Amino acid sequence: MLLRASRQGVALAQVPITKVYESGNPSSHFRPLADSARIYAPLLAFVASSFSLASSMRTSGV
């Protein structure tokens, strides 16, 4: 979503956030492999579609 917004000229800003952990749960439960795959899959799909779009534009003469 952020990549598409940026491409369409939508202004983006970084804002600080406060992390909140429930009592008795003092850390993150990030699973490096599984969660990274879930994060990168849409990004890689977006990149692949960008290459596909660029390729189709070249072949159509746009």
Percentage with pLDDT > 90 across the chain: 34
Number of domains in the chain: 1
Q: What is the mean pLDDT of residues 10-31?
A: 85
Domain span at residue 50?
Answer: 31-62
Top-confidence residue, 44 or 58: 44
Q: How far is CA 22 from the centre of its chain?
A: 27
Residue 41 pLDDT > 60, yes or no? yes
Q: Does residue 26 lie within any of the structural domains? A: no
d(CA 58, CA 52): 10
| 61: DSSP letter | T
Q: Does residue 15 lie within any of the structural domains? A: no
Q: Does residue 14 lie within any of the structural domains? A: no
pTM, whole model, 2 decimals? 0.40
d(CA 61, CA 27): 53
| 27: DSSP letter | S
Q: Does residue 53 lie within any of the structural domains? A: yes
Top-confidence residue, 16 or 54: 16
d(CA 12, CA 5): 8
Q: What is the mean pLDDT of residues 30-56?
A: 86
